[in-house]
Structure 1
Amino acid sequence: MRNSESLGCHRQIVSIDDVFFSYEHKTIISGLNFSILERDFVGLIGSNGAGKTTLLKMIVGLLKPSRGEIRLFGEPMGQFRDWERIGYVPQKNALNPLFPATVREVVNSGLFGKKNMFRRLSKAELRKADDALSAMRIEDLADRRIGQLSGGQQQRVFLARALINHPELLILDEPTVGIDAESQDSFFQMIRHMHQHHHITFIMVSHDMDMMKSYLGEQPLQKSGGLSFYVKHTHAPENCSETDLTHSMQQQLETIEILP
């Protein structure tokens, strides 16, 4: 566990305190303690069944710990309400290809909180959606059904949805599953750019050990059960040079290509 001395003055974004999770009498996560600091990039590696996706779902409030506490931006999970500060890209294989939503509808859904699902979007919010579509260079796909897209295109859509509110914490669960190798490389270039140049903290699950270690280092900062936490810090203010995320992403995507 990262002790208080190692945390220094950096703000804690996620605090995991003695967390357990059990499912059908089987313990998946046991006594996990971990702190994620502002602008960390945390790579989460573990075998199938180790609890990677379970942990992410607890952090975004989709599951509750059996025991222990998770705090987001210093607030206990039960009191946290600022969900627009968190972007979440779930596993692509969770998508039903027959889901009858367009690309624009999926991206727009990132603007809705748990209590305002059916309200009308304002003009300013619609502009944010247009900016997100443009930043990911998928504006030409806006009226296509999400299930009709390639894997690389779908990941652009989900990333646009996650980025629409300019989140401070971005959580990615196996974001490159089902995408060809060239598109995976481009995707990793893009998120490295985001980490290095924007005020965003990352948590990412990936089976690509080579990619994770090339950016985050050879040795995990911590192991707990079957989970290994690899961490890269980017705390220097000069590394956070960009303020306009969508403009910066448009520039970045001019030099890399996610689509096959």
Structure 2
Amino acid sequence: MQQSTRPAGEHCHLPVVSMQNVSFQYEQRTVIDRLNFDILQRDFVGLIGSNGAGKTTLLKMIVGLLKPDQGEVRLFGTPLPQFRDWERIGYVPQKNAFNPLFPATVREVVLSGLYGRKKLFKRINRDDLKKCDDALHALRIEELADRRIGRLSGGQQQRVFLARALVNSPELLILDEPTVGIDSETQESFFHMIRHMHQRHNITFLMVSHDLDMMNAYLGYEPAHASGKLKFFVKHSHELDNCAETNLAHSLRDLRLADEPEPLTAR
């Protein structure tokens, strides 16, 4: 089993996600077998594997939607059953995990990303609305703000969930096939945006994607770690203080302004 290698440094050794001897079976078939891997602060981890390799299963265990059959998952040093600071994590599930009958507008879905599980009834203030507007604008969905999300195309829905995950400036951003159903130009803009966030903000990324060209171009061609059919490609970012802005809203606005405006089309 290949061991991960990362540069030394004070900030390189702070674990955000720790997986110790993690195993999971589905219908008596072992999907993940004794996985040991740490995702450290400022890592960008690309998770690649064939269909059925356990990619989505692993992400669901990390966000508490599935429980490992064996082993332990820790978030920010806290065992998963005791972890409560869910506002520190942004999560975009696969598009097909969404119930199209969910009765909420696009604005309501994006605003829900500002509240952790402890703050479901927090009153919306002006700052919250500004963050929401910035995220809507950055993902080119401001014209859809008052529409029911279930009436949108698949590509439009995925943009909404990306905006929801980014709106709260998370410390850990977990993305499961985030660009499926989105046109190639918007995919490139999205990868440009998350590269900026990784390089200049204190954010850790874990992403599953079938776009190997985009992943390899940023993360390289050699995995830092392998377990079964899962391969972990890792790039570490050192510069903790090279962006004067601490809120992600500026990067979302600036990247949108840098792009040529285009009409919003259904995909």
TM-score (norm 2): 0.88
Partner residue in 2 for 1:121: 123
Correspondence for 1:139: 142
CA distance in structure 1 between the partners assigned to 2:22 and 2:29 by the alignment? 15
1:193 aligns with 196
CA contact (8 A) 2:105 2:149 kept: yes
In structure 1, the partner of 2:27 is 24
**Residues paired across the two proteins, number:** 258
Paired amino acid for 2:192: Q
Counterparts of 1:32-71 in structure 2, within 5 Å, are 32-71=35-74
1:1-260 correspondence to structure 2 within 5 Å: 1-2=3-4, 8-9=9-10, 10=12, 11-117=14-120, 119=121, 121-123=123-125, 124-256=127-259
Contact 2:134 2:253 in 1 (8 A): no
Residue 246 and residue 2 in structure 1: after superposition, are their counterparts in 2 closer, same or farther (change >3 A)?
same
**CA–CA separation in structure 1 for the residues paired with 2:241 and 2:111:** 33
1:62 aligned partner, one-letter code: L
For the 8 Å contact 1:100–1:145, the answer to whether it is kept is yes
What is the DSSP-based 3-state SS (H/G/I as helix, E as strand, rest coil) of the residue aligned with 1:189? helix
- Superposed CA deviations along residues 105-163 of structure 1, whole A, max 9, x for unmatched, are 2112223433554x252325444434433443433321012133344432321122112
Contiguous gaps of at least 5 residues in structure 1: none
TM-score by length of 1: 0.90
Deviations 1:203-234 (A, max 9, x none): 00001111111100010001100100000111
Residues in 2 aligned to 1:90 and 1:50: alpha-carbon distance in whole angstroms: 17
Q: Which moved more, 1:194-203 or 1:153-162?
A: 153-162
Q: Secondary structure at the match of 2:20?
A: strand
Moved over 4 A (4+): 5-8, 238-241, 257-260
Percent identity between the two aligned chains: 67
Q: Over the residues paired in the alignment, what is the CA RMSD in angstroms?
A: 2.2
SS at 1:21 equivalent: strand
AA aligned opposite 1:145: R
